[in-house]
Structure 1
């Protein structure tokens, strides 16, 4: 280890007081919690139109090969028995409030990464010397209040804590003591390191780097020549377990991005377009790790003569939709006029926001697919995400026009339930909640037995009970 790394290593903590908490299969788990007939069965949450994607797959669906970010059409072929549900962000936000409030009881330093995961710095609270006890207590308290499983990893760095929580899934706890870090990290695939996606992994494999131990044995100059200055330097440090990033509740990070220097200049519109896609994909992975969305996309192009030009594209509102951000990246690169002899390409996301627009493409008609959106507020869930056309919450009488599988409904005689599907004037529903036994499907004639779309029960249940007793009591 060189002197700079040795100096930074000396600044690392002596105890594994950084934890990463991540709710297991969050959206699908909430649906299974609220809909007893779906417990233990495959569930896919997301859009069902031609451009629909899976937001979350339950573990039962994952066993068939379905996973998040997969086209819904393919996921349904892999898991034909799965229930496909429209996302209910109001419900997810309500559950998220409870999870985040319980984590905040451990320490004032909580850094939400998304609606269902966060880092916590136990060194800022009373639990620094009782890491496992704190993690067990908060997991138990979250399960008691929400019925949901949260996996937790703990280490002396964000890197180790995040990887440990991934390894602990589902419904597990893993504390990695500093003395055990090398034994934990070195046998892992390089894909376990945040920021190493398919493109980076392929580049590293050309160096015969497949495991973290292989990465650790690479020289810094080789890594920077292979994957770029910034990314190579980061991988070099992470492979040695050096991660000094603090837990930052304010989310003061201003931008995320990626860039790549090519061993030989690249030419031609199609080649450059493919290169933009690859760099943007890497930047998108980093944005996903950061959480939230971005409003401005900046392209950086360095030509063969070392002239560097940047251009930006600004969206009307922050977005986390990969297609939207990728299109903006291409627009910014076209603004540079990059056609010949490109030496370096970079894409970065600025004006970051916890408010991220997630386009799910529910509608069968591609021309109206963008009507179904949800505002996902990862860091301020009390803002009240909404679901529905034109970003208005769906309320009022259930009709074929506003029906979405999974929506909460209420009948004056049968009580609360949820929509299975609607065809014409007939609605198939199940009258059940998390407090009832599983119910059979029932067909309701909406002309003679009106059904009302209502807020998720969790919104009501958790409205005044976010704060509970300290888990140590």
Structure 2
């Protein structure tokens, strides 16, 4: 490297992914477990799901979102733990503080993963590669490790972070994005799940290079209106932005509302939509490390009027398996079958003070009073699959009920987001 900023020109966006995070923290806290297969997840005797497997367990075929019973058959000598979410939150906060020391532009996408912008001249005048190396070294000093991908946009950084684990640093220099992406399989890019991969292969598209060069008419049956965006991402030409980090106190509520192209009048449709919205809210709550006490349901009829209903829970939660049933009960107070629903929304608010109350992964009520169901481990596992392979990679059957009928995107409500 030579010249100003080590020769780096243009945007520099990194993706830091903590290596086998939950399992690594358990091995840090239990030195006798180091070098041994460790699985964090639900009980294999109670239809649990694997949340994280240590690198020692992975050669046996164990991976996140796998049924615990199957993982036990593959790796019978593994050490099992239900996890200690408070401890994971503590370690995550220390890692995010390291990123904050380097740049104010951070987009934390989960407890163990964050994008960060270290574009030369935007905040720092140092080489982005040097900054990434320093971040990796400082994380290692905590007793865990991370893998970092560094490139010109989020897609490149995300893919690069997956290529050299654990404790890897994969740098895609400016101008080399297309060559880096071209030979990779289409599934390497987030947002391409199993069904999209199958459809692309039927169209003769196996690599990201082929996807980048494919005519739009071949891509629209697979991606719809997102065809051009996916083609740009595959070519390494996505334009990404990372906003200044959110302060937790700025988040007043996490909500999701959708407007439907066709009015919903049947109970099954409205309740399915409510459940889908609740899934998104639950995922966002867990991503932000928040748990709330108040559940809100909002609806608007086709002729313009609408209603809102709220209920306060006895304990805070981030588990849609608990707050969606409450939302259904609230719905019954403001809606009857046959009434045309144009817009529906679900929200959770009233977050605990002093940093928030966060549920444990597998407890009904933790020591601070937050509650979760016995299905929360499945929700956490689905979060991780979606973060890695895209939102469409795993879903319940109710999602098929709507297809592309939802015309308004998800959004946060009542959140004071800082600007760049």
Partner of 2:241: 244
**d(CA) in 2 for partners of 1:282 and 1:216?**
32
Per-residue Cα deviation, 1:417-458 (whole angstroms, up to 9, x for no partner): xxxxxxxxxxxxxxxxxxxxxxxxxxxxxxxxxxxxxxxxxx
Q: Is the counterpart of residue 193 in structure 1 residue 190 in structure 2? A: yes
Deviation of the 1:29 alpha carbon: 0.6
SS of 1:20's equivalent in the other structure is: strand
Deviation of the 1:44 alpha carbon: 1.8
Partner of 2:147: 151
Q: Is the counterpart of residue 19 in structure 1 residue 18 in structure 2? A: no
Say how many residue pairs are matched: 349
Change (3 A) 1:91 1:78: same
SS of 2:102's equivalent in the other structure is: coil
8 Å Cα contact 1:226-1:232 kept in structure 2: yes
Q: Matches of residues 9-408 of structure 1 in structure 2 within 5 Å?
A: 15-48=10-43, 50=46, 53-68=49-64, 72-73=68-69, 75-89=71-85, 91-123=87-119, 127-143=124-140, 145-183=141-179, 189=186, 192-193=189-190, 213=211, 241-250=238-247, 255=254, 257=256, 259=258, 261=260, 268-285=266-283, 292-293=290-291, 299=297, 305=302, 307=304, 309=306, 311=308, 313=310, 316=313, 318-337=316-335, 339-340=337-338, 346-349=344-347, 351=349, 355=356, 357-362=358-363, 370-371=364-365, 373=366, 388=367
Q: Report the TM-score when normalising by structure 1.
A: 0.56
**d(CA) in 2 for partners of 1:115 and 1:337?**
37
**d(CA) in 2 for partners of 1:164 and 1:245?**
17
**d(CA) in 1 for partners of 2:334 and 2:233?**
33
SS of 1:179's equivalent in the other structure is: coil
The structure with the largest alpha-carbon Rg is: 1
The answer for unaligned runs of 5 or more in structure 2 is 1-7, 371-420
Change (3 A) 1:15 1:349: farther
8 Å Cα contact 2:291-2:359 kept in structure 1: no
Per-residue Cα deviation, 1:372-417 (whole angstroms, up to 9, x for no partner): x3xxxxxxxxxxxxxx4857xxxxxxxxxxxxxxxxxxxxxxxxxx
> Greater helix percent: which structure?
2
**d(CA) in 2 for partners of 1:202 and 1:115?**
28
Q: Report the TM-score when normalising by structure 2.
A: 0.62
**d(CA) in 1 for partners of 2:299 and 2:74?**
41
Change (3 A) 1:390 1:98: closer
**d(CA) in 1 for partners of 2:212 and 2:309?**
37
CA RMSD between the two structures:
4.9
Change (3 A) 1:101 1:245: closer
**d(CA) in 1 for partners of 2:297 and 2:198?**
22
Change (3 A) 1:91 1:53: same
8 Å Cα contact 1:106-1:125 kept in structure 2: no
**d(CA) in 2 for partners of 1:203 and 1:340?**
39
8 Å Cα contact 1:255-1:352 kept in structure 2: no
Per-residue Cα deviation, 1:84-139 (whole angstroms, up to 9, x for no partner): 11423454355445433433332344454444333333247875551122212221
**d(CA) in 2 for partners of 1:259 and 1:236?**
27
Change (3 A) 1:293 1:278: same
8 Å Cα contact 2:357-2:368 kept in structure 1: no
8 Å Cα contact 2:212-2:231 kept in structure 1: no
Deviation of the 1:188 alpha carbon: 5.8
8 Å Cα contact 1:313-1:328 kept in structure 2: no
Change (3 A) 1:356 1:25: farther
8 Å Cα contact 1:112-1:249 kept in structure 2: no
SS of 1:147's equivalent in the other structure is: coil
Change (3 A) 1:361 1:289: closer
